[in-house]
Structure 1
Amino acid sequence: MHLKKVAINLAFILMMIMLAACGSNAGNVDYTTEEPSAAASESSSPSPVQEEAEAFEPVTATDVTGATITVDRPVEKVACVVSLCVDALAELGMRPIAIAESGVRTIASAPEFYGSEGESFPSIGGSFFEPSLEDLVTAAPDLVIGLSGVHDSLREGLNGIAPLFLGNPKSYDESVAFLEVIGELTGRTEEAAAAKQRFLDKLDAARKQAPKNKKALIIYGSDVNFSVITDSGLGGTVMKEISNYPWRVEKPEDDPYGEGSVPYSLEKLLVENPDVIFVESYSYSPGTKPISEQLSESPLWSKLKAVENSQVHEVRSPIWGDGRGTRSLSIMMDEALAILYPDQY
């Protein structure tokens, strides 16, 4: 009997050990079949950048020279060798990965663009006409944006490094179109659409509200041999919507470069005699006086109505003349309206 009890007890103990082992294994199974934690789900889910890249349809774009580029993911790193590029990126809520020193940094550091931050963007040395290819390679951009007729030769040097996209808007419609293309290349079509609408709404409001009872003129240059922006020039396409802007190119040969501008003289200026003159001065050497000061040395200058009424205004040339984009044109519009119609704006 004693041995039987021992056997029963041993059997009972073995059964309890087996039950305990089964219970432990059951716990392990329950743990591994639980729903993944939030952290685990996040780590296994695509990041916003991955989702954006996966949702991005390849974009093929043709620039103003007819050159075509294709991108299969949103362009993120853009190097700017022209102010038009800075303008477009600012409208899209982006920052350039590098900018040219010559003129481009001036617009980048303007308060309406990037302010003091614009001073710290990495530099692309060289001149405006010949940006440093070495600096562009160092910047490792996804895209380089330049000006047609100036930076075309960069294409060969950038081959295998980054595509080159060239622009040169001649009207505000072309500036809008350029913004939309860059919005597509960067995957920021919504931002581009919003910026486009802001600009067009402002232009439409000004077109309806401005009395257009002032004859305006934009001239530019570096010395007394100035040129006039015509109504077919970029700034002129905006000014003719908000003012009396009678400056036209009568024949194609009068504007051989298709820039919407023609050389002018003070004698010819006296014929139309504008109420307000906006001056874009460009200095190519230290100590160069603004155009208005150089022209003031001529007796004919003082006979102009705008001069007599103190309505000659030196403007911010990097924005008025070089910006070329919707933000620059919007700034130009604001500043021009405030001068032309101070009682309304």
Structure 2
Amino acid sequence: MKKFTVRGGMTIAVLAVVLSACGNGLAVQSEPPSGSLSIVDDTGETLTFAKPVERIACVVSLCIDLTAELGMEPIAIGEGGVRTIAMQPEFYGEKGRSFASIGGSFFEPNVEDLVAAKPDLVIGLEGVHDAMREGLSGVAPILLVNPVGYSESVELLKAVGTITGRPKEAQTSADAFLAKLEEAKRKSPKDRKALIMYGSDVNFAIVTDSGLGGTVLREIAVYPWKVNDPSEDPFGEGAIPYSLEKLLAENPDAIFVESYSFQPGTKQLSEQLSQLPLWRELKAVQEGKVAEVRSPIWGDGRGTRSLGIMVDEAMAFLYPELP
């Protein structure tokens, strides 16, 4: 989901990369002289904790990915896509139904519910939940994050692992994802052109090679989709509006579709597009290589667990002949 573009009930703003001597990503200082733990989020805000964070409230799906990877459970979660990803079998399954609810909308979570949950930390989306910082003053700090490339997701996991006192769990999960991706790169013939597209109607957008999913798929497939006109992606998020005419010019071998529904009865994006003649001309459509993927994971998760699932599902669909 991109700024000014509705995607899965979420609006994603550009990642404000925090620069450090080691490069891009979240800056973490573990056990400075005071014995506290500090983390700098994607807005440049420094959050400091006197002891490891234990009680995390999630108002964004990425938070669910982080807690699951760290072997934690959120004390409260937002509704909609946040609870949907929590209930996925690779995350918390049926237990995801039982987590305390944070009411309100994705854009305006209910602060009273957060107060009642008594969190040590709230994790939200940079560019969407920034205004909550003032409302949560005196209640709990809010960590505002938004990784763009998969390496940023890895660094975020390690950073949150540090402030929760779970650096080993974070490293184990990070290593597992990177090993999975490396194995997929080794096995992949990388001879098939793939695309991730998303939308709720025929006015769709695509994820480019600089978008989060694109940074993963370009490692295991031909992924030629780029931001050639910066004005189409003013916030540098790696997603641009697209047309069937341009799609046909590249003619991908496989298409992964993230469908979002904002009204009951809304058809999947690929089903809506199937009514259009140009869509039916695409090679992927003619050869049955269009996959409607789980949008809460492929589109909204953005953590290493979600990206690992993306790798597994993409490899199986792109290269079914591989062992």
Q: TM-score of the superposition, structure 2-length normalised?
A: 0.89
Tell me the equivalent position of 1:38.
none
The 2-side partners of 1:236 and 1:245 are apart by 7
Q: Work out the percentage of aligned pairs sharing the same amino acid.
A: 64
User: What amino acid sits opposite 2:138 in the alignment?
Assistant: G
Tell me the equivalent position of 2:256.
278
Tell me the equivalent position of 2:270.
292
Report matched runs for 1:150-189 at 5 Å: 150-189=128-167
Report matched runs for 1:177-326 at 5 Å: 177-326=155-304
Higher Rg? 1
Give the alignment's Cα RMSD to 1 decimal: 1.1
Decide which of 93, 99, 122 is 2:100's aligned counterpart. 122
Give the drift of 1:308.
Answer: 0.3
The 2-side partners of 1:124 and 1:208 are apart by 43
User: What amino acid sits opposite 1:129 in the alignment?
Assistant: F
The 1-side partners of 2:235 and 2:278 are apart by 28
Q: How many residues align?
A: 291
The 1-side partners of 2:232 and 2:144 are apart by 26
The 1-side partners of 2:203 and 2:136 are apart by 37
User: What amino acid sits opposite 1:341 in the alignment?
Assistant: Y
**What is the SS of the residue equivalent to 2:309?**
helix
Answer yes or no: is 1:89 the counterpart of 2:101: no
- CA offsets, 1:209-245, max 9 Å, x none? 1001110000001100000100000000000000011
The 1-side partners of 2:35 and 2:269 are apart by 49
Give the drift of 1:133.
Answer: 0.4
Structure 2 stretches of 5 or more lacking a match? 1-30
**What is the SS of the residue equivalent to 1:300?**
helix
Give the drift of 1:269.
Answer: 0.4
User: What amino acid sits opposite 1:236 in the alignment?
Assistant: G
- CA offsets, 1:132-163, max 9 Å, x none? 00100000000000001110010000000000
Tell me the equivalent position of 2:119.
141
Tell me the equivalent position of 1:15.
none
The 2-side partners of 1:232 and 1:318 are apart by 20
Decide which of 305, 309, 316 is 1:327's aligned counterpart. 305
Give the drift of 1:57.
Answer: 3.6
- CA offsets, 1:55-88, max 9 Å, x none? x941111000111100010110000000100000
User: What amino acid sits opposite 1:151 in the alignment?
Assistant: H
Tell me the equivalent position of 1:24.
none
Tell me the equivalent position of 1:59.
37
Give the drift of 1:252.
Answer: 2.2
* Larger RCO: 1 or 2 (CA < 8 Å, sep 6+): 2
Tell me the equivalent position of 1:101.
79
User: What amino acid sits opposite 1:252 in the alignment?
Assistant: P
After superposing the two structures, state which structure 1 stretch, 246-255 or 218-227, moved more: 246-255
Structure 1 stretches of 5 or more lacking a match? 1-52
Give the number of the structure whose residues are more often helix, by fraction. Answer: 1
The 2-side partners of 1:131 and 1:337 are apart by 36
Answer yes or no: is 1:76 the counterpart of 2:66: no
Runs of 4 or more, structure 1, over 3 Å off, are none
**What is the SS of the residue equivalent to 2:277?**
coil
The 2-side partners of 1:64 and 1:252 are apart by 22
User: What amino acid sits opposite 1:320 in the alignment?
Assistant: W
Report matched runs for 1:14-33 at 5 Å: none
The 2-side partners of 1:113 and 1:329 are apart by 13
Q: TM-score of the superposition, structure 1-length normalised?
A: 0.83
The 1-side partners of 2:174 and 2:52 are apart by 20
Give the drift of 1:343.
Answer: 1.1
Tell me the equivalent position of 1:30.
none
The 1-side partners of 2:232 and 2:308 are apart by 28
